[in-house]
Chains A and B, each alone.
Chain A
């Protein structure tokens, strides 16, 4: 690994950076590359798909059709193109997933790191809160909440989902920080008087970067399941097009019993499964991107 002689590039700064590392990791881990490709594909679908693909229209002449050149995933019981619905339905699902992942991670890191660092009362309060949240049956609570709060905005949905998903990640962040803060380089930073924010954000968190990224992706995947569950159960208003809504409608219009609507119910299920699989596959190769040992060197 360190076979390159140091005098080869004395003045240039041989830093490949995160992006270079990502590229290297992709070359070394084809499955990670597939994951990245899948995630990019779905993100593009959510971002620009609705701008390209026309909004599907009702067509009573072409109800519940199998896949064809005209309708690559067939049509639903109203004759609407399923592929177009998948494209238009991806945006709300992915928006909520990304937002939930970000909010959950932000809450978990802030509370976990500070609880570990300050200890004492703050630590006890945060832990009690986490235990409290973990003991509440999540779907039941959502059912109750849905009758109080209008869940139609993606931000509200993400906030509510995050409210339930932060404790697990918070605990692991706390445990990691508790262990990392005992490292000698942290002690050296204390002796050098570099300050608590520096110690948390520069000394401790970078050592958990891959872990945090993976946790964020996993928080996204569970956010998708939770969100689809809410919609499929009909707890969220069915205002916009959405994979969960497709499952809900397919189910309520009898797709479970009728064989010719199998494409209608299977398409969103497959979309969800594929997106989740891409996320998890990507998460697995992320470790290599953040590990400086693997990132640099010849």
Chain B
């Protein structure tokens, strides 16, 4: 596939934290390419490393090993204005709308600081006009009612919109949205997701969308890709319709089959993938071989607990890190080769 340089790419990124004498391996060998204008969803349980991946993408944490490339340039080599330009081009929207806004600032102050700091406006009148415009953009209307409010006067959903507006002040090109709707009332999730989709289209933004909720990922990234993470590794990656309709990795299957369907009849008769264990292993003691093997119903002794599977083509079009699917795929390939 010859494509233009991806806006962002992670190559073999590892992130370890030290806890006393122990090492917590939060991310292991994560590689990911994000094309300009694309939506990539990182999905996984808590502790799977999706937030850390987001922080590394946004330059808020440095990888222990591996490289991050922004528009083909190694981020760790960027200095001075180049690094600041990258910083501004990648913005983050946090999960908790109650912790991500400074309680001592009005929305005007909060949103005008970055404008003045980066000389995006020349005077107070321009700043006010731009802040009103930004508030309008995130559907806080009429913006005049919001501009002089403090965060505590807003609801969770409204705060999250302010958080998005703040990220937009510096005209970013890539937004890392870390569970932007998980702490918002279910009733307004869809409208918030629609605002984000709308912004993505209008401003031609690239999104790395982090969520633990496959249903949210499926809704938001329908035209994008989904990367499923498990214990610090990407176990399956592919276009959203493929991953959700034909999940390859047993972990993805387990996630998909546990999703409730709008039709209760369907949910009741849905085939569940029963795991061998419900417990997520500790990051301090990641299982050998395939980290999913202690829970995997397809577990093949002496293969899965010994060798680490690599992301490989599967029956479907997505890539999965699983010995079983890889074998099936090889088998199918062999079959088609025989036929030919």
Q: Which residues of A contact B (CB under 8 A)?
A: 2, 6-7, 10-11, 13-15, 183-185, 187-188, 190-195, 198, 202-203, 206-207, 209, 292-293, 296-297
Contacts and interface: CB of A to CB of B under 8 A. Distances in A.
B92 interface: yes
B91 A202 contact: no
Contact of B88 (A7, A193, A292): A193
A276 to B, nearest CB: 30
Given A185-B101, A188-B163, A188-B166, A194 B114 contact: yes
Interface string B24-64: 00000000000000000000000000000000001110000
B340 interface: no
B104 A206 contact: yes
Nearest to B106: A15
Interface string B163-183: 100110110000000000000
9 contacts: A10-B142, A184-B100, A185-B99, A187-B60, A191-B91, A192-B88, A192-B91, A207-B102, A293-B152
Contacts, number: 84
Shortest 8 CB-CB distances between A and B: which pairs? Answer: A6-B145, A206-B104, A184-B100, A184-B94, A185-B102, A192-B114, A184-B99, A10-B144
A203 B102 CA distance: 7
Nearest to B95: A184
B277 to A, nearest CB: 34
B321 interface: no
Interface string B79-111: 000001001101110101001111111100000
Nearest to B98: A184
Q: Which of B84, B104, B166 has the most CB of A within 10 A?
A: B104
A194 B117 CA distance: 7
Contact of B58 (A15, A183, A191): A191
B113 A194 contact: yes
A183 B96 CA distance: 10
A55 B59 CA distance: 68
Contacts of B145: 6-7, 10
Nearest to A202: B113
B100 A185 contact: yes
A184 B170 contact: no
Nearest to B170: A192
B148 A198 contact: no
B150 interface: yes
Contact of A207 (B104, B118, B146): B104
B332 to A, nearest CB: 45
B100 to A, nearest CB: 4
Contact of B152 (A190, A203, A292): A292
Q: Decide if the interface of chain B is mainly helix, strand, loop or mixed.
A: loop
A265 B106 CA distance: 52
Contacts of A187: 60, 92, 94
A18 to B, nearest CB: 12
Contacts of A183: 99, 102
B55 to A, nearest CB: 8
A246 B92 CA distance: 63
Interface string B130-145: 0000000000001011
A293 B152 CA distance: 7
A293 B150 CA distance: 8
B179 to A, nearest CB: 12
B288 interface: no
Contacts of A209: 104
A227 to B, nearest CB: 34
B104 A188 contact: no
A187 to B, nearest CB: 6
A188 B100 CA distance: 7
B194 interface: no
B94 A6 contact: no
A16 to B, nearest CB: 11
A244 to B, nearest CB: 39
A195 B87 CA distance: 12
B274 interface: no
A280 to B, nearest CB: 25
A292 B103 CA distance: 7
B63 to A, nearest CB: 17
Contact of B148 (A13, A190, A202): A13
Nearest to B104: A206
B90 A191 contact: yes
Contacts of B106: 15
Contacts of B94: 184, 187-188
A279 to B, nearest CB: 25
B126 interface: no
Contacts of B105: 202, 206
Contacts of A194: 113-114, 117
B153 interface: yes
